[in-house]
Amino acid sequence: MRLSRYFLPVLKETPSEAQIVSHRLMLRAGLIRQHAAGIYNWLPIGYRVLRKIEQIVREEQDRSGAIEILMPTIQTAEVWKESGRYDDYGKEMLRIVDRHDRDMLYGPTHEEVVTDIFRSMVKSYKDLPKNLYQIQWKFRDEVRPRFGVMRGREFLMKDAYSFDLDEASARRAYNRMFVAYLNTFARLGMKAIPMRAATGPIGGNLSHEFLILAETGESGVFVHKGMLEKTVPANVDFDGDLQPIVDDWTSLYAATDEMHDASNEAELGDNLVSARGIEVGHIFYFGTKYSKPMGCKVVGADGQDVELHMGSYGIGVSRLVGAIIEASHDDAGIIWPESVAPFKVGLINIKPGDAATDAVAEDLYAKLEAAGVEVLYDDRADERAGAKFATADLIGLPWQLVVGPKGVAAGVVELKNRRSGEKVEMSVEAALAKLTA
RNA sequence: CGGGGUGUAGCUCAGCCUGGUAGAGUGCCUGCUUUGGGAGCAGGAUGUCGGAGGUUCGAAUCCUCUCACCCCGACCA
């Protein structure tokens, strides 16, 4: 993409509405623009990042055996009245009345809808287990939206729902999601730590929040030092026994401040790390909470009806954009992990109009594009080098490939790593080899 | 939902107290110079002063109402 033809509205100054660093950087780097409180437009590079994250989440859900569907954003109040949540949910639910005076709502979550699908279309134990997921926009009318996309009213979420015959099977479904989440966050370049979460009336220990550690996180967290070094096993067999992996990742202490029990502190001693985190995923098993009131059951092997055991599993996709920035930035701007970067390379032509420089830059651009490398080519003739560098740092592409007259005369270009700041001069061929590897 | 604050140019903000021709920086446009880390000079365009009502000869400024946004707290992916 040529920057001269692109839409990248960067701001030199920070809009006063933004408090935290990810929000400021998202506005300044032209990722988003606020439309109303807690509701955002996604501008080109912001949307690219959102889609990258979405795709990684999707691939890992698919790998774990979950099946993608798409449910409506607007739901009928009817199913919520069945589950009993219509009155419980309160003003966070955006309620809408249609022209026929029917009560509708903009979905804040989809347990009722997916349960309705399942009960009407699945009749036999032979069709279980199943895990259906979607990546869909949701709306919760937060009293006080803040922190940009981290706490918006409208947000993109991956939500999965598992259906099983019994609790043991549901636990296996839970474990599959648990491990899928480990894989997902690792691919996003993030260290996300599962922490035991409140389970509500169901009890047990089958609920975990996944938090990305960041100084500006909303929740205080207390974790055993060992949690920070845990790795995600490669090539997991999702049909196999995942309990050992789950056990490993839950063997050490990790709790958010609301679940933290200070009596553990003495025992942990020097191993206790106190930090802050951003919740980016939440999984839980809730048994027959919805299947019972909504009559979601199948015929079992013995011919008797069985109420299904369900779980639901969320990942805040749009929130992750902000969370990743919180965890990965510096004074100059964003530092994208390569897996979610809007472009891999920022190709900077320092002196457009200089024939030799243009020739090298255009050649590099063509070859990178041909090799399938996502490259944003700063070919603007009306910006000086300093402004281009500042923009490149701000938008945080992993690599900056700098082509200028001095280097070209010497037969070299400069490759800068955004994260480390390291700059290396090399031949055009070497740079191409490095970026297309 | 309680408490606080802010609405003036695309963005950051001054002007309001003490009513009298709407400003600065930045960005944008034009020209010249410059050209490897957000250039310099000169010229230029840009506003229902959030909205409605009121007071007044006259309102960005004072009064009333209203809307939006932000912050703190309680609540949440």
Q: Could you read off the pLDDT of A332-388 as tens digits, one per residue? A: 999 999 999 999 999 999 999 999 999 999 999 999 999 999 999 999 999 999 999
Asked whether A177 and A210 are in contact (CB, 8 A), the reply is no
List, for residues A203-261, the tens digit of each pLDDT value. 556 899 999 998 878 888 999 999 999 999 999 999 999 999 999 999 999 988 888 88
The 8-class DSSP code of residue A271 comes to G
Question: Distance between CA atoms of A188 and A135, rounded to whole angstroms?
Answer: 17
* Nucleotide showing the shortest C1' distance to residue A9 CA: B10
Q: CB neighbours (10 Å) of residue A113?
A: 18
Provide, in whole angstroms, the distance separating residue A10's CA from nucleotide B17's C1': 38
Q: Which candidate, A247, A252, A256, A253, places its Cα nearest to that of A179?
A: A247
Provide, in whole angstroms, the distance separating residue A8's CA from nucleotide B46's C1': 22
- Whether the per-residue pLDDT at A117 is higher than 60: the answer is yes
- Whether the per-residue pLDDT at A200 is higher than 80: the answer is no
* Nucleotide showing the shortest C1' distance to residue A413 CA: B36
Asked whether A251 and A245 are in contact (CB, 8 A), the reply is no
Strand B, nucleotides covered by protein (CB < 7 Å):
1-2, 10-13, 25-27, 29, 34-39, 68-77
* Nucleotide showing the shortest C1' distance to residue A150 CA: B77
- State the pLDDT at residue A88: 84
Q: Which candidate, A120, A117, A151, A114, places its Cα nearest to that of A134?
A: A114
Q: Which residue has the higher pLDDT, A15 or A22?
A: A22
- State the pLDDT at residue A205: 63
Question: Distance between CA atoms of A402 and A347, rounded to whole angstroms?
Answer: 6
Provide, in whole angstroms, the distance separating residue A158's CA from nucleotide B22's C1': 50
pLDDT average, residue stretch A264-287: 90
- Whether the per-residue pLDDT at A148 is higher than 60: the answer is yes
Asked whether A346 and A203 are in contact (CB, 8 A), the reply is no
Asked whether A77 and A95 are in contact (CB, 8 A), the reply is yes
- State the pLDDT at residue A2: 96
b (16+ CB within 10 A) / e for A402-427: bbbeebbeeebbbbbebeeeeeeebe
| Average pLDDT, rounded, for chain A | 94
> What does each C-alpha distance from A144 to A41, A141, A318, A356 come to in angstroms?
19, 8, 18, 55
- State the pLDDT at residue A256: 87
Structure tokens at A16: 């006063």
Provide, in whole angstroms, the distance separating residue A210's CA from nucleotide B9's C1': 45
- Whether the per-residue pLDDT at A202 is higher than 60: the answer is no
pLDDT category of residue A428 using cuts at 50, 70 and 90: very high
Kindly report the CA angle at A324 between A323 and A326, in degrees rounded to 5?
Answer: 65
pLDDT average, residue stretch A196-202: 69
Q: Which candidate, A69, A47, A62, places its Cα nearest to that of A156?
A: A47
Question: Distance between CA atoms of A402 and A360, rounded to whole angstroms?
Answer: 10
Provide, in whole angstroms, the distance separating residue A345's CA from nucleotide B36's C1': 19
Q: What are phi and psi of A312, to 5 degrees?
A: -135, 155
Q: Which residues contact A45 (CB under 8 A, 6 or more apart)?
A: A8, A29, A30, A31, A342, A343, A395
The 8-class DSSP code of residue A310 comes to E
- State the pLDDT at residue A141: 92
List, for residues A59-75, the tens digit of each pLDDT value. 999 999 999 999 999 99
- State the pLDDT at residue A201: 55
Asked whether A317 and A50 are in contact (CB, 8 A), the reply is yes
List, for residues A150-180, the tens digit of each pLDDT value. 999 999 999 999 999 999 999 999 999 999 9
- State the pLDDT at residue A149: 94
- State the pLDDT at residue A382: 92
Report the predicted TM-score, pTM, of the whole model to 2 decimal places: 0.96
ipTM: 0.93
* Nucleotide showing the shortest C1' distance to residue A281 CA: B77
